[in-house]
Chain A
Amino acid sequence: MTFAPAVVRANRPRIALHIACLLVLLVMLYPLGWLVATSFKPADEVLASLALLPSRLATENYTTAAAGIQGVSLLKLFGNSLTISIGAVLGNVLSCSLAAYAFARLRFRMRGPLFAFMIATIMLPHHAVLIPQYIVFNQLGMVNTFWPMVLPKFLATDAFFVFLIVQFMRGLPRELEEAAKIDGCGPFRTFARVVLPLTRPALITTAIFTFIWAWNDFFTQLIYLFEPGKYTLTLALRTFVDTSSQSAYGPMFAMSVFALLPIVLFFLAFQRFLVEGMANSGVKG
């Protein structure tokens, strides 16, 4: 009996902390809840009503959104976004892991300066290379195709991921590679059979981040894609930026829900990899 008040007293700040955290979380998640609720509101309630929940579950916004924009169906837009994102994932996982292995484990002349240069490119603003890259892709006839979004990924231009994988590979025990070498594996077999499987957590992190960034990307797509048939979901949403009449609000947010859905699903499925990946990028090393 006598310890009960003490327990209560000890718990009180903890409970207060939980309440504070939940309140902050509520405020933070409000925009998402609002988005979902609004996407189900009938046109006359979208802005007029203060209630968060719609008076009836209106699905017409979704049917309008499914029809797409400018004659391009939602499915096509979704497919275009997916093609770009998957291409980017394949490119980044392949090229960044190759470069990372060289930087983390192999010896070559200029390794120090090249590594420093690689790190420096993480900080390089995209705009410094934007216009010449545009000119190059224009000369190659690749403007209004998906190549400008995908091709650079196969050349390990996302140095952040090279760095992430290097950090991870440095933590692997060297003995395994030595053992592989004694068993007669060359550098390529050692990489493919020993190092790459062990690096899987870093590769998954790279894949998910690449997918999400490519899926969310707006600037690059805005510059390179102009024909509606090539539009991604992001670019389709852009067409709502100029025309924000109330009648377009519902379908716009229905389409926004589709644009966020893969990210939310990825997040729910892989949150551990994402959070750990983010944590490791800053602290280790």
Chain B
Amino acid sequence: MDRAAVPLPRQRTAPTGQARKRRPKREREGAAWVFLSPWVLGAAVLTLLPMAVSLYLSFTDYDLFDPPSWVGLRNYTQMFTEDPRLLRSVLNTLLYVVVAVPLQLALALAVAVALKSMKRGKGFYRSAFYAPSLLGASMSIALVWRALFNDGGTVDNLLGSLGIHTGGWVNRPGWALLSVALLTVWQFGAPMVIFLAGLQQIPKELYEAASVDGAGRWRQFLSITLPMLSPVLFFNLVLQTIQAFQVFTPAFAVSGGRGGPADSTLFYTLYLYDRGFTASHMGYASAMAWVLLIAIAIVTAVLFRTSRSWVFYANEEGR
């Protein structure tokens, strides 16, 4: 938008000769490629080539020492027919994504709406709520989490005093996954900050007009805030979902590095690490990486497709 507002002097078609017009253009193009060269090298050597190699390896048996041997689709068929732990990791990851992401976004939205109208202290709360998003990815916090949700930890004691004896979430299948999900919810600050920025861009006149028409707060939220915020909501949903699929550190810490108890926190990435770097099945791990890539691509595509029916872009109103 900013770009269109600024006239581009380059587009003036002054009657200079063809030759004179062309040379500086090519020079500038050359400069662009110089600026771009680190990125081009990185994209080629550290992204595109590895993707191709990873795809190739996914059809092989490879242990890093002997040359890879072609096995066709065996890794893929093995994944879905002979590997119950893999299916378990898929289910765990899906369950975690479905629990953690909506809870996190709902909390982020609720807090953002609460902060929006605040006159004093907004900046303080915004920063304070955001802090866990930076700390939460660390091993330190993951270890704190394990201690808090352990047998005899604060959460266990707190629930115990209410007469609910959990015996520690970390030690119980089902509950351990929930404790990892809560760590994700705890980091609601990042999407909240984005929500808040989005809320501030909604024109005040809309609310004024609505209240003149007699719309209550809830009605205003449903009819103005949510539709106007839907692009931001969509952005957060896609971003957080993609990130949640790749969660690793907290699962590693909570489960003692092995996905326990009873494989209940064996997340997909944890199992990928286990297959590739503990068991040295690089071919199998590559196949897992490709299934993850495809799964994320499908989920993103589905989100984009459904977004057409609920994401509202103000500047495309007339379409």
Contacts and interface: CB of A to CB of B under 8 A. Distances in A.
A216 B38 contact: no
Interface of B: 2-3, 6, 8-10, 25, 28-29, 31-39, 41-43, 45-47, 49-51, 53-54, 57, 64, 111, 114-115, 118-119, 121, 125-135, 137-141, 143-148, 152-154, 157, 186, 190, 193-194, 196-198, 201, 232, 235-236, 238-239, 242, 245-246, 248-249, 252-253, 256-257, 269, 272-273, 276-277, 282, 285-286, 288-290, 292-293, 296, 300
A197 interface: no
Interface in A33-78: 34-35, 38, 47, 50
A87 B285 CA distance: 29
Given A129-B50, A275-B127, A98 B35 contact: yes
B28 to A, nearest CB: 6
B47 A129 contact: yes
Given A117-B43, A259-B139, A274-B134, A132 B54 contact: yes
Contact of A260 (B38, B118, B141): B141
A237 B198 CA distance: 38
- Interface bracket on A: 35 or more
A233 to B, nearest CB: 8
Interface string A116-138: 01100101111111111101101
Interface of A: 14, 17-18, 20-21, 24-25, 28-32, 34-35, 38, 47, 50, 94-95, 98-99, 101-103, 106-109, 111, 114, 117-118, 121, 123-133, 135-136, 138, 152, 154-157, 162, 170-171, 173-175, 178, 186-188, 191, 212-213, 215-216, 218-219, 222-223, 234, 237-238, 240-242, 244, 249, 252-253, 256-257, 259-260, 263-264, 267, 271, 274-275, 278-283
A31 B145 contact: yes
B57 to A, nearest CB: 6
A102 B36 contact: yes
